[in-house]
Amino acid sequence: MNKPIRIALLGLGTVGGGVYKLLSMRAQEMPQIAGAPIEISHILVRNANKERPGVDAALLTDNWQDIVSDPEVSIVVELMGGMEPAHTYISEALAAGKNVVTANKDLMAVHGGELLDLAEQHHCDLQFEAAVAGAIPIIRPLKQCLAGNEISEIMGIVNGTTNYILTRMTQDGMEFDDALAMATELGYAEADPTADIEGYDAGRKMAIMASIAFHSRVTFEQVYTEGITNIHATDIRYAKEMGKAIKLLGVACNTPEGIEVRVHPMLIPDSHPLATVNDAFNAVFVHGDALDDAMFMGRGAGEMPTASAVTGDIIDTARNLLMGCTGRIGCTCYKELPVKAIDDIKSKYFIRLRVEDRPGVLAGVSGVLGNNGVSISQVIQKASKGGSSDLVVITDTVRERHIRDALTILRSMSMVRDIASVIRVY
Amino acid sequence: MNKPIRIALLGLGTVGGGVYKLLSMRAQEMPQIAGAPIEISHILVRNANKERPGVDAALLTDNWQDIVSDPEVSIVVELMGGMEPAHTYISEALAAGKNVVTANKDLMAVHGGELLDLAEQHHCDLQFEAAVAGAIPIIRPLKQCLAGNEISEIMGIVNGTTNYILTRMTQDGMEFDDALAMATELGYAEADPTADIEGYDAGRKMAIMASIAFHSRVTFEQVYTEGITNIHATDIRYAKEMGKAIKLLGVACNTPEGIEVRVHPMLIPDSHPLATVNDAFNAVFVHGDALDDAMFMGRGAGEMPTASAVTGDIIDTARNLLMGCTGRIGCTCYKELPVKAIDDIKSKYFIRLRVEDRPGVLAGVSGVLGNNGVSISQVIQKASKGGSSDLVVITDTVRERHIRDALTILRSMSMVRDIASVIRVY
């Protein structure tokens, strides 16, 4: 039998705990699964003296030097999250010739290129399947199974918290605040939910996937993000009337003018496979020139689903170690494509206005849209209380800057009491 | 730059033509995608003199010895299908130390174990992503990304022809024969559709997936198969009334008593992700202990989707060649689990009977079911013409042999004119 492969876990929170548990569950079979036993030799924690039931206390350390200077450690598994000290530790591990597995999307979405270069210099693996969409295999499929494709589009529901909130708003008619409170109570939302509800978390995942799919580095700062805090139950009801669902979608397209990459709420037809992805589930939809359409669905977060992805990477790295081929697949960004500004992107829009309830209003609104080159594809007008109507318009495809100009004029008109919502339409 | 990797294609039919086309489309980028140019040096065809527009005639040969004895050929890509001569060619290629990529499910479902052993002996890759579910990445995800899981269940719509036929029957109310004729006309069904409509094709794919998922060799002969030729538009209508869809499903479960693996029509709830997979699309649903639920959807057949999977395998093998690590992942069957007989499997059943239209019939039928330990969960009874009624029953979970006993008695009763359909229920 091959001698054990020694790994160090950095962090023992939800994900770290899950990986510890899963490796223990599979320990007996690991020689057959990975080719050698996989032994955790260190666990880096902030407080090595805190009691942790079920965890071998002898493995705990609060000293990174114990790990990086131990020549027996061949895989460092970073599960602390955030930028520092994760960035430093991963860089030092790679520089010391250690392979790295990480679930850190924040870090990979900003410093992915630099870290992958460092891994390549030292012939090390840097694997990060768990950084995008939890348990769903997507990094490896994009880098390997679909490598023969020119991928033109990726669309994803890649944040479980917001998908849970929108599902409650859709299925139970809840308003955003109540659905968020429920998500928090059930542990789907963190104490500070900003990164989720503002679309930053999804934006990081889209940066990582766009980089791989289009072979060109995209960083988080280049992703346009818009969250779901302005979505109302009313919008969802009108969308439903029009045969559509509202989802927080990440969209990445490779166009002849450059890469589009953005996260925002979007109306999609009820018949689209992503429309049926509910609750905390994630899904990634991919279009490639040979592949045509494919979709990958599963759990995007949580202790054991994330541990599934991390453990898959550990096993793959172990196999590479045993075959002497670590660094087998490094950075796949060999192009330098421009990223388009959001103003240059074209979309259809759902616009919900509260207007005066009198004749001529529809003509006035549609006139302003028409003058700005925005044509209308669908309209619903409904009287509501207090002498005002709801006017809901879905436009044809229009450039982002034109819709903004039209909205500015509409906002100044006396017949328009309020522009309640502006949401993109697939 | 690395020197070109030379490959030979065996077969230039639909899939072979697609791979030729896709490799030509990607030729310029291949050094960056795979690490080296990939050059087709031979194409084995039955008639090397036939004119083939768009294909370099100098590559064509009808002599297998040209290929297997050429030390420059490092990857043999078998796209002929069927058992012979594919079996002999793949064996000889591996014995000569050549890596093999194949899309051949017939062969892998029967001789997969033997061929993977041979590949291992010669430190070669034997990759077969295209053998299951066309473009959908499923072999590599199961072997690598999900390797940390104990997988307990795989359910799949893995035959596009039958899914297309059932979709037409469901959406347009067509009968089987008409839907099959339409599928044939559109090129979704072959001239001899037996392997598709009888479930053999799906059975081969389930044997391959079950072997990988449960780490224990399952061959095609061990898969229980039942096709869709007995499904009627009436069954689909009643299923719809009960909130269910009828799909041809492959099911593989790892139970404490052994592996269950079977292909048959099945009623699944409209809310199940597989229920929304229509037309010629395929999908594979996987449950693992860490992963929870995941689903992979995409094109299960066709020239370019299959070429996508084959090309992914060629690129992966090329990377292994360049890193000197071919044979990196071989056979993953390290257990020897028994496969259960269909008689021992438990299911719920949808039973549609034509019965005499008189009082006491429901009591009579449910009495027979009850005496055989079959309890009823749902009933629909509708008068139809000629003094007979449709009686549709969904049972609770029952062992296969008990339902057979009950059906034998029902068939002998005078009040039962006909047992029109017996279909399993998820």
The per-residue pLDDT for range A385-398, each reduced to its tens digit, is 778 899 999 999 99
pLDDT at position B387: 80
Nearest to B420 by CA among B374, B354, B364: B354
| Residue of A34, A308, A320 with shortest CB distance to B146 | A308
pLDDT at position A383: 77
Residue A3 C-alpha from the chain's centroid? 38
Mean pLDDT of A365-377: 94
Residue A326 C-alpha from the chain's centroid? 27
Summarised one tens digit per residue, pLDDT across range A356-370 is 988 899 999 999 999
Amino acid, single-letter form, for residue B88: T
pLDDT at position A261: 97
Contact assignment for A298 to B291 by CB distance below 8 Å: yes
Contact assignment for B34 to A144 by CB distance below 8 Å: no
Contact assignment for A294 to B136 by CB distance below 8 Å: yes
Q: Is the dihedral of CA A232, A235, A239, A244 positive or negative?
A: negative
Sheet with A5-10: list strands edge to edge: A60-61, A38-44, A5-10, A73-78, A99-102, A126-127
Residue A145 scores a pLDDT above 80: yes
Q: What angle do CA B209, B260, B284 make, to 5 degrees?
A: 35
pLDDT at position A244: 96
What is the count of residue pairs from A and B with beta carbons less than 8 Å apart?
Answer: 182
Residue A40 banded pLDDT, cuts 50, 70, 90: very high
Contact assignment for B295 to A299 by CB distance below 8 Å: no
pLDDT at position B385: 72
pLDDT at position B65: 98
- Strands A258-269 and A224-225, how do they pair? parallel
Contact assignment for B137 to A136 by CB distance below 8 Å: no
Residues belonging to the binding site of A for NADPH are: 105
Instruction: Determine if residue B166 is labeled as part of a ligand binding site.
Output: no
Reduce the DSSP state of residue B249 to 3 states and report it: strand
Residues belonging to the binding site of A for L-homoserine are: 190
Please report residues of B whose CB lies closer than 8 A to that of A324. Answer: 324-325
Here the tokens at position B230 are 């007995």
Summarised one tens digit per residue, pLDDT across range A405-426 is 999 999 999 999 999 999 999 9
Mean pLDDT of A38-47: 97
Mean pLDDT, all residues of chain B: 96
Contact assignment for A325 to B324 by CB distance below 8 Å: yes
Which of B14, B123, B149, B278 should one mutate to test binding to chain A, selecting the residue with the greatest count of A CBs within 10 A? Answer: B149
Work out the minimum CA distance from A221 to partner chain B, whole angstroms: 26
Closest-CA residue of chain B to A271 = B276
Closest-CA residue of chain B to A150 = B26
Mean pLDDT of B251-259: 97
Which of B308, B313, B317, B326 should one mutate to test binding to chain A, selecting the residue with the greatest count of A CBs within 10 A? Answer: B308
Please report residues of A whose CB lies closer than 8 A to that of B137. Answer: 137, 141, 144-146, 294
Residue with tokens 């002898």: A58
Residue A384 scores a pLDDT above 80: no
Q: What are phi and psi of B289, to 5 degrees?
A: -70, -30
Q: What percent of chain A has pLDDT over 70?
A: 100
Reduce the DSSP state of residue B296 to 3 states and report it: strand
Work out the minimum CA distance from B76 to partner chain A, whole angstroms: 17
Domains along chain A with CATH numbers = 5-134+303-323 (3.40.50.720), 148-299 (3.30.360.10), 346-425 (3.30.70.260)
Residues belonging to the binding site of A for NADP(+) are: 10-17
Contact assignment for A314 to B148 by CB distance below 8 Å: yes
Summarised one tens digit per residue, pLDDT across range B268-303 is 998 888 998 999 999 999 999 999 999 999 999 999
Amino acid, single-letter form, for residue A405: D
Residue with tokens 């605040």: A177
pLDDT at position A65: 98
Q: What are phi and psi of A269, to 5 degrees?
A: -60, 145
Instruction: Determine if residue B312 is labeled as part of a ligand binding site.
Output: no
On whether the CB atoms of residues A109 and A103 are closer than 8 A, the answer is no
CA distance B224 to B200: 9
pLDDT at position A223: 98
Element (H, E) at A362: helix A361-371
- Strands A151-157 and A281-288, how do they pair? antiparallel
Element (H, E) at A179: helix A176-185
Nearest to B24 by CA among B66, B1, B56: B56
Mean pLDDT, all residues of chain A: 96
Residue B6 scores a pLDDT above 90: yes
| Residue of B312, B314, B325 with shortest CB distance to A146 | B312
Please report residues of B whose CB lies closer than 8 A to that of A308. Answer: 146, 148-149, 288, 290-291
pLDDT at position A380: 92
Nearest to A111 by CA among A252, A203, A207, A226: A207
| Residue of B140, B302, B304 with shortest CB distance to A144 | B140
For residue A204, CA distances in Å to A263, A277, B18 come to 10, 20, 35
Kindly state the DSSP code that residue B384 receives in the 8-state scheme.
-
Q: Cα(first)–Cα(last) distance of chain A, in Å?
A: 55
Q: Catalytic residue positions of A? A: 205
What is chain A's Cα-based Rg? Answer: 24
pLDDT at position A342: 87
Contact assignment for B148 to A292 by CB distance below 8 Å: no
Bridge partners of residue A77, in order along the sequence: A9, A101
What is chain B's Cα-based Rg? Answer: 24
| Residue of A26, A140, A215 with shortest CB distance to B145 | A140
On whether the CB atoms of residues A233 and A167 are closer than 8 A, the answer is no
Residue B344 scores a pLDDT above 90: no
Summarised one tens digit per residue, pLDDT across range B350-405 is 999 999 988 899 999 999 999 999 999 999 988 777 788 999 999 999 998 899 99
Here the tokens at position B363 are 């009591």
Instruction: Determine if residue B15 is labeled as part of a ligand binding site.
Output: yes
Nearest to A310 by CA among A166, A132, A187: A132
Segments of B172-243 assigned E as strands: 224-225
CA distance B265 to B53: 42
Contact assignment for A290 to B273 by CB distance below 8 Å: no
B273 or B411, which is more confident?
B411
Which of A1, A21, A291 should one mutate to test binding to chain B, selecting the residue with the greatest count of B CBs within 10 A? Answer: A291
Kindly state the DSSP code that residue B329 receives in the 8-state scheme.
S
CA distance B180 to A301: 42
Q: What percent of chain B has pLDDT over 90?
A: 93
Residue A355 scores a pLDDT above 80: yes
Mean pLDDT of B172-188: 96
Which of B136, B144, B277 should one mutate to test binding to chain A, selecting the residue with the greatest count of A CBs within 10 A? Answer: B144
Q: Which of A290-294, A331-335, B343-347 has the lowest mean pLDDT?
A: B343-347
Q: At what angle do helices A361-371 and A400-412 cross, to 10 degrees?
A: 140
- Strands B5-10 and B73-78, how do they pair? parallel
Instruction: Determine if residue B226 is labeled as part of a ligand binding site.
Output: no
| Residue of A23, A146, A273 with shortest CB distance to B297 | A273
pLDDT at position A343: 85
Q: Catalytic residue positions of B? A: 205
Please report residues of A whose CB lies closer than 8 A to that of B282. Answer: none
Closest-CA residue of chain A to B213 = A33
Mean pLDDT of A219-247: 97
Residue A3, CA atoms < 13 Å, CB-side half-sphere: 4
Q: What percent of chain A has pLDDT over 90?
A: 93
pLDDT at position A196: 97
